[in-house]
Amino acid sequence: YKTFDGDLKWDHNDVTYRILNYSPDLDSSVIDDAFARAFKVWSDVTPLTFTRLFDGTADIMISFGKKNHGDPYPFDGKDGLLAHAYPPGEGLQGDAHFDDDEFWTLGKGPVVKTYYGNAEGAMCRFPFVFGGKTYTTCTSEGRADKLPWCATTDDYDKDGKYGFCPSELLFTIGGNSDGAKCVFPFVFLGDEYNSCTTEGRNDGYRWCATTSNFDQDKKYGFCPNRDTTTIGGNSEGEPCHFPFVFLGKEYDSCTSEGRGDGKLWCGTTSSYDDDKKWGFCPDQGYSLFLVAAHEFGHALGLDHSNIREALMYPMYSYVEDFSLHEDDIEGIQYLYGGKTDPKPTVPQPNTPTTTAIPDPDETDSTDEPEPEPEPEPTNHPTTTTSTPLDPTKDACNVIKFDTITVIGGDLYFFKDGHYWRKSGKGDSALKSPMLISERWPALPAVIDSAFEDVLTKRLYFFSGTKFWVYTGKNVLGPRSIEKLGLPDSVQKVEGALQRGQNKVLLFSAENFWRLDVKTQTIDKGYPKFIDVVFGGVPIDAHEVFQYEGHTFFCRDRFYWRMNSRRQVDRVGYVKYDLLKC
């Protein structure tokens, strides 16, 4: 192995990374997961941890680009240079760039994640049989809306399992349209377009308008690559057109006819003879996971190795069951040392990607924070309503809060008779803990959930089967939750979500009820199952709250964030993303 001159390395172990953009070759969740696994290759053998940031500047900024992509080292089209990365340091140092003229896969051909359909997002299975015919790519056969689809088993006629393939007719990536699909035709600079285009851009990425007139609305998105998207050639990623005519003969699939190098190609219009539009067909592609693991080795301080089997060997070769070579391990441990313990007592804050739900077995509630030393007596006058407590009682050591809620727009974290307040947006500092009993004397030490009534600003607190209602300093309670119409089977209320002016959803175990705050009764038709209405979140979340337009479901130290369209758009750590530890 080799390190860079001066043994360049990070001066901290909790390294951060941020994905700046995505390749159209793969679904973003597949890219997120490939990068997370590539970082895990290194965190498994060192004390390093990797935390994903979604904004601001991270140590390792990851991006895709083509040819001249903003640094002094341009890429070179398909094949040749695949990617590069810079050794640790400020600015460009530590960053990793991937050549998007390559066809990025997981090393064994197109990775086509499906959407909708009935296969829960499973990958396409090629080849598959439909109507007795065999298909090796997505098809719009059998559909009037021409949406490309595929089977997720090898026989659709038998299993009936299918999903829709990535296509600009279904959604777009990035841009400013929140993933809305393309609108065809659309007008751009006065011209009408019936397909994605690279016009107006110098980075070669295909885009479309998501309204009928870009000149007017300026709404756009990037087009996802279809599984039949061509690579290189002169069609800028247009999908193959089957059948196409070449030298007078009709072709229904890719061919190497006409070439001496045996590479498979296709026409991207119905006749190559007439239009001369073509591209290479998707091949096995390059494993984004393997190339990223190599580049991240550079971003951590490793140079190239001359051991052919080592990950840090400069040439690409696909490996099915990858594991680090001892040469790589010796190199990275020379820089950062070995892993300090066989299994992290506190899981590394490698924020799970939006698809990889953290391993529930990792939650070990044994690691209660160390007992704090007796706090120094504070002699300065308290300026707040409650005496600030032991400021070293650090919220960042709390694995699981009793409850989290929003009061007056601020986030409140409750635990064992204390609460922390985090005001406003962004990175404002967390106030040191206060005593619940000083601000709300009637309340017990453990609060299961709480909410602020939007209209009256009354505060509802729940603990066990009791609840309290504070109006300013005045309190009503404790009263039984059965007074609200909840059944006596409910042992505790674990979450509350305001809905409109006077409705609140109350969560307990895998059910939720809707409370009409004005009549103080439960609406008809409840309870409902959480996983029926809020698909994709854990049904044993012990905190549910609304914050900044999103719904948060918390379990242990993790949160699942759901947007207004009830899509889980982020999974992360309460500690890092909400407490900003």
Partner 1 sequence: WSVPLKSVFVTFPGDVIKNMSDTDLAESYLKKFGYMDTLHRSGFQSVVSTSKALKRMQRQLGLDETGQLDTQTLDAMKRPRCGVPDVAN
Nearer to partner 1, 216 or 306 (CB): 306
Euclidean distance between CA atoms 137 and 141, whole angstroms: 11
* Token pair for 576: 């890092």
Q: Which of residues 354-383 bind partner 1 (CB under 8 A)?
A: none
* Identity of the amino acid at 52: R
* Token pair for 33: 């997961």
Interface stretch with partner 1, choices 11-19, 77-85, 120-128, 184-192 (CB under 8 A):
77-85
User: Are 280 and 236 contacting, i.e. CB atoms less than 8 angstroms apart?
Assistant: no
Nearer to partner 1, 294 or 466 (CB): 294
Is the Cα dihedral 425, 428, 434, 439 positive or negative? negative
Q: How many CB atoms lie within 10 A of CB 150?
A: 28
Asked whether position 84 contacts partner 1 by CB under 8 A, the answer is yes
* Identity of the amino acid at 513: W
Asked whether position 248 contacts partner 1 by CB under 8 A, the answer is no
Asked whether position 77 contacts partner 1 by CB under 8 A, the answer is yes
Pick the closest to residue 165 from 207, 125, 208 (CA basis): 125
User: Are 15 and 57 contacting, i.e. CB atoms less than 8 angstroms apart?
Assistant: no
* Token pair for 28: 């973003």
Interface stretch with partner 1, choices 138-146, 311-319, 387-395, 444-452 (CB under 8 A):
311-319
Least separation in angstroms between residue 353's CB and partner 1 is 24
Nearer to partner 1, 294 or 557 (CB): 294
Interface stretch with partner 1, choices 21-29, 219-227, 305-313, 524-532 (CB under 8 A):
305-313
User: Are 38 and 293 contacting, i.e. CB atoms less than 8 angstroms apart?
Assistant: yes
Nearer to partner 1, 176 or 317 (CB): 317
Pick the closest to residue 447 from 423, 419, 407, 477 (CA basis): 419
Interface stretch with partner 1, choices 19-27, 116-124, 157-165, 252-260 (CB under 8 A):
252-260
Asked whether position 79 contacts partner 1 by CB under 8 A, the answer is yes
* Identity of the amino acid at 14: D
Nearer to partner 1, 304 or 528 (CB): 304
* Token pair for 168: 């600009």
Active site residue 295: yes
Interface stretch with partner 1, choices 2-10, 121-129, 141-149, 453-461 (CB under 8 A):
2-10
Q: Which of 308, 343, 524, 565 binds partner 1 (CB under 8 A)?
A: 308
Exposed/middle/buried for residue 85 (C-beta within 10 Å: 0-12, 13-18, 19+): buried
Nearer to partner 1, 27 or 101 (CB): 101
Euclidean distance between CA atoms 184 and 206, whole angstroms: 14
Least separation in angstroms between residue 243's CB and partner 1 is 18
Euclidean distance between CA atoms 570 and 572, whole angstroms: 6
Asked whether position 316 contacts partner 1 by CB under 8 A, the answer is yes
Map tokens 């939720």 to a residue. Answer: 512
Give, as one character, the DSSP assignment of residue 255: B
Per residue in 394-425, is it b (16+ CB within 10 Å) or e — as a string? bbeebbebbbbbbeeeebbbbbebbbbbbeee
Nearer to partner 1, 234 or 378 (CB): 234
Euclidean distance between CA atoms 310 and 332, whole angstroms: 12
- List 239's β-bridge partners, or say none: 229
Asked whether position 14 contacts partner 1 by CB under 8 A, the answer is no
Least separation in angstroms between residue 79's CB and partner 1 is 5
Which of 295, 452, 494, 543 is the catalytic position? 295
Q: Which of 91, 260, 426, 525 binds partner 1 (CB under 8 A)?
A: 260
Least separation in angstroms between residue 315's CB and partner 1 is 5
User: Are 123 and 109 contacting, i.e. CB atoms less than 8 angstroms apart?
Assistant: no
User: Are 434 and 384 contacting, i.e. CB atoms less than 8 angstroms apart?
Assistant: yes
Residues 92-131 as x/- pattern, contact with partner 1 by CB under 8 A: -------x--x-----------------------------
Asked whether position 262 contacts partner 1 by CB under 8 A, the answer is no
Asked whether position 503 contacts partner 1 by CB under 8 A, the answer is no
Euclidean distance between CA atoms 317 and 286, whole angstroms: 9
Least separation in angstroms between residue 90's CB and partner 1 is 18
Asked whether position 81 contacts partner 1 by CB under 8 A, the answer is yes
Q: Which of 65, 233, 239, 358 binds partner 1 (CB under 8 A)?
A: 233
Which segments within 454-529 are labelled E, that is strand?
459-463, 466-471, 474-480, 495-499, 503-508, 511-516, 521-522, 528-529
Nearer to partner 1, 260 or 377 (CB): 260
Q: How many CB atoms lie within 10 A of CB 56?
A: 8
Asked whether position 35 contacts partner 1 by CB under 8 A, the answer is no
Number of residues that bind partner 1 (CB under 8 A): 41
Least separation in angstroms between residue 258's CB and partner 1 is 4
Q: Which of 103, 286, 460, 468 binds partner 1 (CB under 8 A)?
A: 286
Euclidean distance between CA atoms 195 and 165, whole angstroms: 17
Q: Which residues contact 229 (CB under 8 A, 6 or more apart)?
A: 24, 25, 237, 238, 239, 279, 282
Nearer to partner 1, 132 or 260 (CB): 260
Interface stretch with partner 1, choices 20-28, 144-152, 259-267, 525-533 (CB under 8 A):
259-267
Nearer to partner 1, 257 or 548 (CB): 257
Residues lying near partner 1 in the complex (CB under 8 A) are found at 2, 4-5, 73, 75, 77-85, 99, 102, 232-234, 247, 257-260, 265, 276, 278, 286, 291, 294-295, 298, 303-304, 306-308, 313-316
Which residues are identified as catalytic?
295
